[in-house]
Structures are given as C-alpha cells and as structure tokens.
Amino acid sequence: MSKKIQAIRGMNDLLPADSNIWSFLDSTISNLLISYGYKYCRTPNVESTETFSRAIGEVTDIVEKEMYTWKDNNGDSLTLRPEGTAGVVRMMIEHNLPREGIQKVYYNGPMFRHERPQKGRYRQFHQVGAEVFGASDAKIDAELISITHSLWKKLGIDAVLEINSLGSAESRATYRETLTGYFNDNKDQLDEDSVRRLTTNPLRILDSKNKDLESLISSAPKMIDHLDDDSNNHFNALKKYLDSLNISYNVNPKLVRGLDYYNQTVFEWISNDLGSQGTICGGGRYDGLVEKMGGNPTPAIGFAMGLERIALLIEDKSDQLISKRPHLYFASIGDSARIESMILSKKILETLPNITITNDLGIGNLKSQMKKANKSEADFAMILGEEELLEGLISIKPLKGQGVQQSIKLEGIIHHLQEIL
C-alpha cells in the first residue's frame, strides 16, 4: 500500500462539518465592512520578497525568521504573503488608486508564516483586513475601531481595547534616542534579541515576550511622554471620538505592534479566553509606508484579524449565532420520479434560494432513502413515486415532530413550502 500523503504541519483542512462557522464569519464581517463603505479587493498570495522586507522591516521576526521565500526559475526572490497590508499598499501604488480620492478597502485570504503551530496560530492562517488611504484625521482611526467594536457585539465576544500613539517620525526619532540611551545604560540586563534590536529598532524591545525583561521595560521612558503637539492632538482627538462612542479603552504605553511601518495610532483588541496569546485584532496608522514603497505621500491606516482565533471564540455558541437554513430531503422512487425530483428541486430553489434541498442520489428503496433522510437532520422529506407523479401529488413528511405527513398537489408545492418553512 502506498504511503498516505498528509497536510503540511501547521496547514489545516477545513472540514465540511466546520464550514458553517467560517461561512458565517465571512458573511458577517463582509456585510459589516460593506455597510461602512469598504470595497473588497484581492491581491496575489505570492509577491516579490522586497514587498514585505521593505514594508515590514528587515529586522522583524516575520522577515528574519518566518517568511516562506524561494528563488523562481528567473532567479527572482518570491515570498508567500505573511500579512495583507504590504500587498494592498503595492496594489494602491501600482494602480495609482489614491489619486481617485480616499480609498476604503478590505480583503480576506490566506497568509503564511513559518512559526511554531499552536491553538489558533498556524503556518497557514486566514486574515481579514481593512485599509484606508488618503484620510489623516483621527475620525477614520475611530471608525475602524468602532467597526471592530460592533463586530465583537455581533459575535458575542468579550474583548478589551488597548491603544497607544507612536507619534510622528520626528517625535519617534527623539524618543528613539532617549530609549536607546536607557537600554544602553542597562545593556547587561538585555537578552541576545534585545541587544540586536538596540541598534536596529529599539522600540521593538518594548514588544519583547521575555518575562525577565518585564521590570526593565516597565521602567523605560514612555513614547506618550515624548509626543509632539500634532501627535498629542491626534491622540486626544481619537480618545474623544472613542469616549463619544462609549467604547472603553486602556492606554498601553508598551504597545508598539510587531511591524515597523506603524506611526501615530496603534491599537489591539485582546480576549482573555485564548490564554496568553489573546490578541484577536490589531492595527494602526502607517502614514509613511506608501512613500517608502515608491508612491506619493499618503496617510493610511488599517487593521487585521485572524479568523482561526475568532472561530475558536465563537465555536461554543455557533448554534445561537448561526440561523439554520430550512433543509428538505427529496426521496424519489422510479425513473420518472427521479427526473421530476431534479426539475422540481430546481424550480423550488429558484423561488426559495435560502433553503437547502438534498436530492437522494442513490437508487435504493423508500425505506433506505428515508433512513438517509433522518440521518441528514433535514426538517422535512419530500417523497415522490411513480403513482404520486401520475396523480400529480407529492408527499411532505415532517422529520422533527412538526406534524403529520401530507399529500400536496405538485403545482402547489412551492406555496405550501412557503407556509411551513
């Protein structure tokens, strides 16, 4: 016997039994974003490696350790996308979309990172993100946060909002000098990763997960104390918007996010129901990224969320969240009845597109078909035999105790289904 081929570690199949949650999440998130005026976009799964190294930063864990990168036959370096923003920025520049005015877009698709698989974090994962280009006011920062706040309410998820400001490029430069001095004075306490980051991007030390550094990081100078007037005003305006929307938040001065392109507003939503890796959504401003990647200076902001983690949070309450479609099982006996079952199913579904019809595909007797109907968890069985067909009748049998079996005229079946479903 040949060896079975299995999925790559950390890259999982979505089984049919689990698909309802994912379909529900996709439609709920899409409908919410569309209601706020965001339009769907799609970028390739594979981009030039430079797209990510230039956008995310050469000294981030993603670029240094986690990207799937290879040389193609032409010698070009290509990478499976590890996140969505860089590709969307490339798309905006390539097609000169910001020239047409403010762009509000969202995407949904697979991302790839070679990290240690754990519950809710996989090497192929699915991310929904929203990005806005051309809007500099804190009002759009608040809108994006408000959208995610509404989503958690729809999904019944409890999450805490943390916000921070990383300031302008100028205020960050001043803060970087102060922070570098502080960590240099305490260099003997830093781990190997932090020593390396000290010369490349000292702000990333604040994001360290090393518990031995907690006290040192806690005592470090705070970015919020080094903001220039414009950055302060922007952050205060954001807080005013959030207060007016009754969205609670905590200001976390250690929040820097894991990507180098952020400035000004950064935020994360954190759930206490996922253990230590509780972040379910994060985002912020990246006003300098479009120019850095070869476009015209363009203010921009966005967020991203991992669907695997959100699916974990709602799996126990999916029955309450997801309204089930009425389900009919069509049993037919005889060649003519089988043909008519196909014709009738098509007519019914064209009139009632929000129901499900499972048409029996076997050639078994009525008893075996009804056994499959009960196993399918359908609400009703439609039964059509050669005699019923000649008489212009069809039987409707409730499968969940909703009443007794009835014979209905074929021409009246759609009207009858509209009444009982």
- Give residue 258's pLDDT: 61
Query: What confidence category does residue 255 fall into, taking pLDDT thresholds of 50, 70 and 90?
Result: confident
Any idea which residue has 């080094």 for tokens?
Answer: 226
Average pLDDT estimate for 255-279 = 84
- Give residue 308's pLDDT: 94
Read off φ and ψ for residue 10, nearest 5 degrees: 85, 5
Domains, the chain, in order of start with CATH, read 16-168+228-318 (3.30.930.10), 325-420 (3.40.50.800)
- C-alpha 201/C-alpha 180 separation (Å) is 9
Is the pLDDT at 6 greater than 80? The verdict is yes
Query: What confidence category does residue 265 fall into, taking pLDDT thresholds of 50, 70 and 90?
Result: very high
Is the pLDDT at 231 greater than 90? The verdict is yes
Query: What confidence category does residue 141 fall into, taking pLDDT thresholds of 50, 70 and 90?
Result: very high
Query: What confidence category does residue 260 fall into, taking pLDDT thresholds of 50, 70 and 90?
Result: low
Query: What confidence category does residue 399 fall into, taking pLDDT thresholds of 50, 70 and 90?
Result: very high
- Give residue 302's pLDDT: 97
pLDDT tens, residue by residue, 158-205: 999 999 999 988 888 888 888 888 888 888 888 888 888 888 778 878
If DSSP codes are grouped into helix, strand and coil, which group holds residue 68?
coil
Cα–chain center distance at 327: 29
Greater model confidence, 232 or 254: 232
Cα atoms in the 13 Å half-sphere on the side-chain side of 88: 28
Query: What confidence category does residue 259 fall into, taking pLDDT thresholds of 50, 70 and 90?
Result: low
- C-alpha 415/C-alpha 409 separation (Å) is 10
Cα–chain center distance at 193: 30
pLDDT tens, residue by residue, 341-363: 999 999 999 999 999 999 999 88
Write the DSSP assignment of 298-363 as a string of letters. Answer: --EEEEEEEHHHHHHHHGGGHHHHSPPPPEEEEEE-SHHHHHHHHHHHHHHHHH-TTSEEEE--S-
Neighbours of 150 (CB within 10 A): 15
Q: Which among 339, 328, 337, 421 has a CA at the least distance from the CA of 382?
A: 328
Is the pLDDT at 278 greater than 90? The verdict is no
Greater model confidence, 201 or 292: 292
Is the pLDDT at 110 greater than 80? The verdict is yes
- C-alpha 421/C-alpha 397 separation (Å) is 13
Give the E-state strand segments of 119-254 in sequence order.
124-133, 160-165, 250-251
- Give residue 290's pLDDT: 95
- C-alpha 25/C-alpha 48 separation (Å) is 30
pLDDT tens, residue by residue, 38-92: 999 999 999 999 999 888 876 667 787 899 999 999 999 999 999 999 999 999 9
- % of the chain exceeding 70 in pLDDT: 98
pTM as predicted? 0.88
Lowest-confidence region among 156-165, 258-267, 295-304: 258-267
- % of the chain exceeding 90 in pLDDT: 71
Instruction: Share the mean pLDDT of the chain.
Output: 92
